[in-house]
Structure 1
Amino acid sequence: MRNRLAYKNLPFLIGAIFLFNSFKAASQSMSLSSKAGANKITLSLTKNGELHYQVTRRGKPIITDSPLGLSCDEQNFTSGLSVVRVSPIDVRREKYDLKVGNVKTINHVLETKSVTFKNKSGALMIIDLVTGDEGVAFRYRFPDQDRKIRVINNEITGFHIEKNARGWLQPYNKAGKVTPGYEDFYFNIHPGDSIRNPRNPSVGWCMPALFQVNDSKNWVLLAESGTDGSYPGCHLQPDSRGGLYKIAFAEKDEKYNLPLSENNHPTSSLPWAMPWRVIIIGDQAGDILLSTLITDLAPASKIDDTSWIEPGKATWSWWSHPEDHTPDMYNQFTDLAASFGFGYTLFDAGWEKANSEGGIIAKATSRGVKPMVWGYSAAYFDPEKRRKRFKELADMGVKGVKIDFWCSDRQEVMACFPSLFEDAAKEHLLINLHGTTVPRGWHRTWPNFMTAEAVLGTEHYFYESRYPDKAAEQNTVLPFTRNVAGPTDYTPFALTIRKYPRLNTAVHELATAMIYTSGIIHFADSKEIFESLPVSVRDLLKDMPATWDKTESIVAQPGEQIILSRQKDRLSYIVGINGTDNVVPVKLNLARYAKGFSKFRIIKEGQDPLMTFKTETYPITSTWQYTFAPKGGFIIQFINE
């Protein structure tokens, strides 16, 4: 009898337990603060079960009430949601080294929490939350096990930016001959502004997207991390009325010459963890520049032995001699690399014929210079062909591959990259992506991924009439936007006057090699220019590292000026560039950065600012004053003599 009564009351007991757990979950906090309490993200549900979030810093709004949710082929998670469970707060430490970055060793503590929701039909969706000293992040996750392929029709995630904010945003170019490739200008805009005067027809805004908010007291960068083969690379929709920037998927026609499907929506079986939506927050723009939150959220390195991965500098003949593919020209740049102690030389398009005729790869290896070669994306998209080609190149003595013309953020392309990095690592090959999307933390997971283009770099002295006038300004914006996402193949030091004449000073161009971070710095310009340089500049190029142990932001004014302190082993520098047409005074306490040194050497503009340099040496001072030339720069190296 007792057993029958217990069985009879079982539905009531299950219902009571469920109601109790639901009440308990609903009463638990759906917010998460960073360990020091500065950054906080809070989830909330409307009476219709619509999910929203907001982000604050020290109680002040950074992202105001913004929508969350996914609309899938069989389930809807945009309304009718209720809380099932709120996990306890967990603390994790992300300690790792980067082969290329502003700092070598990262050691950050992150707070994490997961909130599980169910929709009207009982299907589950989890929102994972992360907070840290550098910002907050969230992602969607489906925990169920199901081999059936699911499709997301729409992601309604938005980022609500206050009306009086200002931003630096880059148009996301529509698919075309060489687009999208993240090679447009960053424009200074206000939330709600439409896209005006892009380089190419555009369908949205790129991420990373930079804003100054909270009455100019804070900076915020919107970005992605952890994008893999289960999701496309995302950008922001063009319509931002009211300051609401919404997520957009890669466009259907972003195929270039790759064999992609007609479906541009995210598809996957379950379980399914989607990319992190990253919101980097700082009191100064320099906090954004130095953030590693994107790599903190990326998977740890999948390469056990990274001793063969060596950052360095490379000579590169294409910029100065784009039509000359002769063995003699490639060999000249091999000799140039050897004379400057550069570890690498890059043989760009046309190298195969030159190698068959003149053995340019064997010549480079015989001189102790590591050859890298250019390749076309379609030749590396098919896994079997890619692995075969990588083995052939490695057997030839090639040490790295520059793979060009991806021009797509589609899911299939995002899926290609991790397997490409892995296949390359098996042959001890380094990777440089061109005509491509921005990195999304991949250089932590695959340290052989050394650099990527996805930048309006110096090749646009050939192609863009507006580039000379805007280049200096862009050079003081990109370190706070594109370069935060990952290593940037800007191809610095382009002194020869091309189709669209340069306006930046020669020192400004030289300084960009030390402002941007790139695992391999591909220097532009000719052998003749390098050999004409004064000894002090030649010595700087020989000593200059390609990655840094420590970086400090001294002056951080996007679109205006940037000054950085950089250190690598016993090398110590201060580097600055002016993004404006104005003369700008600079005052620094050099003694603060000169511990262990007695003097400093400064490289600045010479008699002809566009083409020449002047070097002077002084004792260390605590009240050093300088004047930035218009579109100018300077490089200080601390020395003992």
Structure 2
Amino acid sequence: MKGIFLTALFCLGAFAVQAQSLHYASSPDKRIRLTVQTDAAGELTYALTFQNQAVIAPSSLGFVFSRPAVTLNRFAVVSVDSAKADETWKPVWGEVAQIRNQYTELAVRVADKAGSNVQMVVRFRVFNDGLGFRYEFPEQPHLKHFVVADENTQFRLTADHTTFWIPGDYDTNEYLYNTTKFSEIDPLPAAAKEKDIALQSLIGPDAVQSPLLMKTTNGLYISIFEAALLNYPVMHLRLDKARLTFRSQLVPDAVGNKAYLQTPAKTPWRTVLVSNKATDLLASKLILNLNEPSRIADPSWIKPQKFVGMWWEMHVGKADWPLASGKHGANTTNVKRYIDFAAQYGFDGVLVEGWNVGWEDWFGNWKEDVFDFVTPYPDYDIDALTAYAKQKGVRLIMHHETSGAVTNYERRMDDAYRYMVSKNINTVKTGYVGRIIPRGEHHDGQWMNKHYERVAEKAAQYKLMVASHESSRPTGLHRTYPNWLASEAARGSEFNNAPTLGINPEHTTILPFTRLLGGPMDFTPGLFRLRLNQFDSTRRQRVQTTLAKQLALFVTIYSPLQMAADLPENYLKYMDAFQFIRDVPVDWDDTQYIAAEPGDYVAVARRGKGSDDWFLGAITDENARVLPIPLTFLNTGDTYKATIYRDADNAGWDTNPEAYKIDKQRVTRKSVLNLKLTKGGGCAIRFKKVKSEK
């Protein structure tokens, strides 16, 4: 850590500030300005500008407690502290080798004017790319244990912005994105189109989810989100169209309460990212910087991985999870075939789903003791397979589907993790399909968020890595728990098999601006057979992408745990294209976002960890386009061989999706590549240094 400094500028101590008070803080580069104000009545508001353009109009802050029965919406300012920080830290893994954390802080301590004597601190941090703020409740005589009924945080807009949103839902994030004006947001009809989501718990006609992206008419990109979600429910957003306002909507528990807290307590950070460049918003590390440093003292055992899986077979009808189905995929012979493929082509692991007893009765019954996580089916010889994998230099990846029976999983975690260690398995994919047990809890509620944290902590005790599915969307906690490598928590590649909507071409151009701001996604790219009638001629689903775009997704959708999703036999038909998947890293020293527009296109270049090689991915929506890509990210004085995996001239996601071309040429940082992307298409490039003039 270098260059860190914290300096108190002023402190008013126990002396109350005047009834009307106004306080300012600016980002280190002075482009962003925060204003915090209390008026004569005691309403506490904040406002934000970017280069003198209003981003968030004066917006109220406050709380309602159900126990004690207190409404916090009128305050007297007790004290104001200010500080600055500038540090550089190194992530265990990630998109870059080091991250700068630079901000100006304003901490406003207020007291309830209504007579409860409750005090809280609102802590603001202003970065060069946005704002983070949270509520803190210090130890105090008049508040110890308390129950949150509502958090009244407002985000008041300045105009009817273009908005990228999904319907508000307490249990799933697996919607396609909608792009409308703020005034045209209509969640219930959008949700009604989604016929393939297993469980919906819609909030109402005025609710959407965060992270929420907006674009203004004068070219500002604004994201509303949160960071460091610990011991608290997810923050969704309710909209008031008449007042151009979003208000926080916390996820309730079974009896309607939002959070149970004890002082000292703090909420997650509420965040507003803002930039006049789409690429700068994608490059933001504000969410990570608001999370606490790693709680794992020695993370040397945590390793990013690339893997294949006995998984897509079930989605395309070749195999099934239950033994009783008659086509059980997780059998010894079949999994050995995947181990052989992984070993031959340089993959680290093999995910196996459906290996354990219980799949005949796993979904929809709201039942506790379906899985014990240590009993394999009789046709799955786990000892023989783990020994075989070890001999081949590959590890199996465990799958723990809980079927929503979370209390059952918590009772069995120690046994399950000891079992994994005994079988030389160091990574687990957890799943939470269906309604949560105990009844009435939601995937996004405080109770479940505590569970996800407990899984990360418990797994770390056994030196295990985790990828969570059907969990709440990440908020940068992979900094604090670097063994929590990835989450699903959005509409991932398995929805390419959904018979109703699937995944439209623009979806993957929006994810980097929304879901991926919080952390890596286990999206599972790499499908090469793009009509899904391979084993069932009645299937009409068509993956809305080209093969070249599937390659590019390995770069545009970041994850340190990347799965090549398709079947081995489908890769063997396109071995020259498969080479890119073999070559592309899963850990990086540098990332440069080259070109981006949400809903249209994304182009990003990354340099491999400890390598001189760069990899570039570019993807487009349903529209064909040409993207000029200057190669200024390459080293000065060096020459590179560019291997370009592109859409063929006659390709298109709906006509000829598997057509591609591979070109090779010498380039330098002075070169510009004009990438021709077909509709639903993409381009993937490897730049390998071949000559240095230094």
Aligned to 1:555: 595
SS at match of 1:460: helix
Between the aligned partners of 2:212 and 2:14, the Cα distance in structure 1 is 43
| Aligned match for 1:593, one of 623, 634, 655 | 634
The Cα of 1:63 is off from its aligned counterpart by: 0.9
Alpha-carbon contact 1:327-1:358 (below 8 Å) kept: no
Equivalent runs, 1:19-34 vs 2, <5 Å = 21-23=15-17, 29-34=22-27
| Aligned match for 1:105, one of 67, 76, 98 | 98
Query: Aligned pair in 2 of structure 1 residues 114, 530: CA closer, same or farther (>3 Å)?
Result: same
Alpha-carbon contact 1:300-1:444 (below 8 Å) kept: yes
The Cα of 1:388 is off from its aligned counterpart by: 2.6
SS at match of 1:35: coil
Query: Aligned pair in 2 of structure 1 residues 398, 355: CA closer, same or farther (>3 Å)?
Result: farther
AA aligned opposite 1:402: K
What per-residue deviation string (whole Å, max 9, x for no partner) do you get for residues 320-376 of structure 1? 345122222222212121112111211123353254477323322221112211112
Aligned to 1:480: 513
Alpha-carbon contact 2:470-2:489 (below 8 Å) kept: yes
1:130 aligns with 2:163: no
Moved more, 164-173 or 231-240: 231-240
SS at match of 2:386: helix
AA aligned opposite 1:631: G
Between the aligned partners of 2:485 and 2:405, the Cα distance in structure 1 is 20
Aligned to 2:77: 83
Aligned to 1:208: 211
| Aligned match for 1:465, one of 489, 495, 500 | 500
The Cα of 1:552 is off from its aligned counterpart by: 1.1
Aligned to 2:355: 350
State the Cα RMSD in Å.
2.3
Aligned to 1:183: 174
Aligned to 2:543: 502
Between the aligned partners of 1:227 and 1:206, the Cα distance in structure 2 is 15
Alpha-carbon contact 1:289-1:481 (below 8 Å) kept: no
SS at match of 1:639: strand
Moved more, 355-364 or 400-409: 355-364
Where do 5+ consecutive residues of structure 2 fail to align?
1-11, 195-199, 321-328, 357-375, 434-441, 533-538
The Cα of 1:28 is off from its aligned counterpart by: 6.8
Alpha-carbon contact 1:379-1:385 (below 8 Å) kept: no
Alpha-carbon contact 1:81-1:119 (below 8 Å) kept: yes
Aligned to 1:226: 228
Where do 5+ consecutive residues of structure 1 fail to align?
1-17, 175-179, 253-260
Alpha-carbon contact 1:163-1:242 (below 8 Å) kept: no
SS at match of 1:113: strand
The Cα of 1:580 is off from its aligned counterpart by: 2.4
Aligned to 1:217: 219
| Aligned match for 2:604, one of 564, 567, 575 | 564
Aligned to 1:293: 286
Aligned to 1:9: none
Aligned to 2:556: 515
SS at match of 2:16: helix
Alpha-carbon contact 1:552-1:564 (below 8 Å) kept: yes
Between the aligned partners of 2:13 and 2:412, the Cα distance in structure 1 is 57
Between the aligned partners of 1:348 and 1:240, the Cα distance in structure 2 is 45
Query: Aligned pair in 2 of structure 1 residues 464, 225: CA closer, same or farther (>3 Å)?
Result: farther
Q: Matched residues, percent identical? A: 23
Between the aligned partners of 1:50 and 1:27, the Cα distance in structure 2 is 9
| Aligned match for 1:359, one of 384, 399, 403 | 384
Moved more, 302-311 or 585-594: 585-594
1:172 aligns with 2:168: yes
What per-residue deviation string (whole Å, max 9, x for no partner) do you get for residues 260-316 of structure 1? x53532111111111100111112111121111111011110011111111120101
The Cα of 1:210 is off from its aligned counterpart by: 0.6
Alpha-carbon contact 2:21-2:38 (below 8 Å) kept: no
Alpha-carbon contact 1:100-1:487 (below 8 Å) kept: no
Alpha-carbon contact 1:316-1:346 (below 8 Å) kept: yes
The Cα of 1:395 is off from its aligned counterpart by: 1.5
Equivalent runs, 1:276-355 vs 2, <5 Å = 276-322=269-315, 323=320, 324-351=329-356, 352-353=376-377, 354-355=379-380
| Aligned match for 2:426, one of 399, 403, 410 | 399
Q: TM-score if structure 1 supplies the norm length?
A: 0.89
Between the aligned partners of 1:94 and 1:387, the Cα distance in structure 2 is 38
Aligned to 1:244: 245
Aligned to 2:326: none
1:264 aligns with 2:257: yes
Which protein has the bigger helix share? 1
SS at match of 1:477: helix
SS at match of 2:574: coil
SS at match of 1:610: coil
| Aligned match for 2:109, one of 111, 116, 126 | 116
Q: TM-score if structure 2 supplies the norm length?
A: 0.82
What per-residue deviation string (whole Å, max 9, x for no partner) do you get for residues 206-240 of structure 1? 11111113x332111111111112x1122112554
